[in-house]
């Protein structure tokens, strides 16, 4: 049975890819990376390297046009700065709204695109790496369990019952993701999570903060932060 | 309150646009036409004319790349012919699967894209013209009430409760759509539904057959079939 993995080249989706490869075999896995107008292409270059590492088919898709009217701070055309603080700090100021790095309905759009591509490639599953830390406090509402259940139902019914979502971490946190990936020997040294695109992660944006903490919770050092 | 209408330039979505304009006012409506690799661009040219007729903002989006692996008979690269018979006839041969003109998860993808664009343009509603005739017998599973409910839930939750779907015809049939559109004086003469892209509709593909019957059920002649 074939599977398509939504694959950014970050920590969560690399763990997801490791899991899909262990279950389905590399020859039955397609990794899909979506460009959506990020300010750098470092993630996608990392994604390509990791796909090669696993020997899976690698596809890319450019959906930047869809976000041309968005003022999300992650996008290259945005005038807002990417916040240098944790999601918890940011959420104190958003009045229950998503954080400024929320890309409008990104996971919904990526899953729907993945569904169309998966159906054309005889895949029965779409994997993605949403986890509960990202959903907390409505930071990224398209990472929540309830969103995932609804989107899974939409894809299952809208595909004529041919396709389902697998979201193996949706009820787990990022520390759990690192634990699972470490057991699967995921090549974390090749990944990129930082919202900036430098040579080394900034260590100060929310995703760097979360990632460093998730390794620490497992008694590990993030391999990208090693000197 | 602003609304985005998924707008193909066909009969159903033109009625949907007429309804959205009557409720929200033309200045608060955006019509979105998606190119997905159809064998002709007649629909989108008609869509542009109808958007001008109503004076609404008109946006286009090209998602053809997503369907590059699909063998759907509607797509320009397909080697299959578009069937010249009704959906009921086609469904006798599909063994419960969607018909050959089903574009994989098209409505799900279009609604998800519309959601991302709607959120970037302060819209609170997405309208689309799915109706029960298209959902019948699983011909187009992404037109069913159950699909719509799940997708609405996914968009509502995944947007942080900022956006909803309006599917005004999802429990009605195509004859009802024509009745509503006729009351709203929708400019049906400007629409295009035929799967072919000639000067006049072929009159023999499933969508032509359905459209002619829907006018007839209202005691009317399809204005495109008038000599």
Higher pLDDT, A217 or B206: A217
**Cβ–Cβ gap B158/A141 under 8 Å:** yes
The predicted model gives A117-124 an average pLDDT of: 97
Nearest chain B residue to A108, by CA: B112
CB distance B69–A121 less than 8 Å? yes
> What residues of A are in contact with residue B160 (Cβ under 8 Å)?
96-98, 102, 138, 141
d(CA B73, CA B102): 8
Give which of A207, A159, A196, A185 is closest to A22, Cα–Cα: A185
Cβ pair B198, B16 in contact under 8 A: no
What residues does B2 pair with on adjacent strands? Answer: B123
- Pair of tokens at residue A171: 């009820």
Check residue A75 and give its pLDDT: 85
Q: Which of A69, A112, A153 sits opposite B105 (nearest CB)?
A: A112
Proportion of chain A above pLDDT 70, given as a percent: 99
What mean pLDDT comes out for the span A201-212? 91
Task: Tell me which chain A residues have a C-beta less than 8 angstroms from the C-beta of B154.
Answer: 108, 147, 150-151, 153-154
ipTM computed for the complex: 0.92
Asked if B117 lies within 8 A of A150 by C-beta distance, the reply is: no
pLDDT class of B227 with cuts at 50, 70, 90 = low
The two tokens of residue A187 are 């090549």
| Dihedral sign computed on CA atoms, order A79, A85, A88, A93 | negative
Q: Evaluate if residue B77 carries a pLDDT over 80.
A: no
Out of A142-146, B1-5, B137-141, B147-151, pick the least confident. B137-141
Residue B138 confidence (pLDDT) above 90: no
- Interhelix angle for B106-120 vs A145-158, to 10°? 140
What percentage of chain B carries pLDDT values higher than 70? 99
Q: Which three-class secondary structure string do you get for B129-140?
A: CCCHHHHHHHCC
- Supply the pLDDT for residue B80: 75
Residue B115's SS3 state is helix
* Residue A227 confidence (pLDDT): 66
Is pLDDT above 80 for B27?
yes
pLDDT of residue B89: 83
Q: Answer whether A5's CB lies under 8 Å from A128's CB.
A: yes
Summarised one tens digit per residue, pLDDT across range A124-162 is: 999 999 999 888 877 889 999 999 999 999 999 999 999
B37 interaction partners in chain A (CB closer than 8 Å): none
Q: What separation, in Å, do the N-terminal and C-terminal C-alpha atoms of chain B show?
A: 42
Give residue-wise pLDDT tens across range A157-200: 999 999 999 999 999 999 999 999 999 999 999 999 998 888 89
Q: Do A154 and B108 touch (CB under 8 A)?
A: yes
Report which of B28, B35, B44, B45 is spatially closest to residue B118, judged by C-alpha positions: B28
Residue B101 is predicted with a pLDDT of 84
pLDDT score for B59: 98
Query: Which residue in the set B67, B146, B155 is minimally distant from A105, CB to CB?
Result: B155
Query: Does residue B122 register a pLDDT over 80?
Result: yes
| Token code pair at residue B111 | 């609604």
Q: Which of A26-30, A174-178, B140-144, B175-179 has the lowest mean pLDDT?
A: B140-144
Tokens coding A105? 């309905």
pLDDT at B54: 98
Other C-beta atoms lying within 10 Å of the C-beta of residue A183? 12
Average pLDDT, chain B: 93
Query: Which residues does chain B have within 8 Å of residue A121's beta carbon, measured at their own beta carbons?
Result: 69
Query: Which three-class secondary structure state does DSSP give residue B123?
Result: strand
> What's B35's DSSP letter?
E
Selected residue of A87, A105, A163 to mutate for chain B interface (largest B Cβ count, 10 A): A105
Give this prediction's pTM. 0.94
Give the pLDDT confidence of B159-216 residue by residue, as tens digits. Answer: 999 999 999 999 999 999 999 999 999 999 999 999 888 889 999 888 899 999 999 9
Q: Which pLDDT does position A20 carry in this prediction? A: 98
């Amino acid at each position: 049975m074939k599977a398509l993995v939504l694959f950014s080249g970050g920590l969560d989706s690399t763990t997801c890819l490791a899991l899909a490869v262990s279950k389905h075999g590399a020859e039955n896995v397609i990794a899909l990376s979506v460009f959506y107008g990020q300010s750098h292409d470092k993630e996608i270059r990392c994604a390509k390297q990791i796909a090669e590492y696993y020997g899976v088919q690698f596809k890319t898709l450019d959906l930047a046009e869809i976000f041309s009217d968005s003022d999300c701070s992650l996008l290259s055309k945005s005038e807002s700065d990417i916040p240098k603080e944790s999601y918890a700090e940011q959420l104190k100021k958003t009045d229950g709204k998503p954080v400024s790095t929320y890309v409008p309905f990104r996971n919904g759009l990526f899953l729907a695109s993945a569904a169309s591509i998966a159906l054309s490639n005889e895949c029965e599953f779409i994997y993605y790496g949403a986890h509960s830390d990202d959903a907390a406090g409505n930071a990224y509402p398209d990472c929540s369990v309830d969103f995932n259940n609804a989107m899974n139902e939409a894809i299952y019914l809208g595909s004529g019952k041919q396709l389902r979502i697998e979201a193996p971490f949706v009820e787990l946190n990022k520390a759990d993701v690192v634990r699972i990936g470490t057991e699967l020997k995921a090549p974390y040294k090749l990944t990129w999570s930082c919202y900036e695109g430098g040579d080394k992660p900034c260590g100060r944006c929310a995703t760097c903060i979360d990632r460093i903490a998730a390794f620490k919770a497992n008694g590990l050092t993030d391999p990208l932060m090693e000197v």
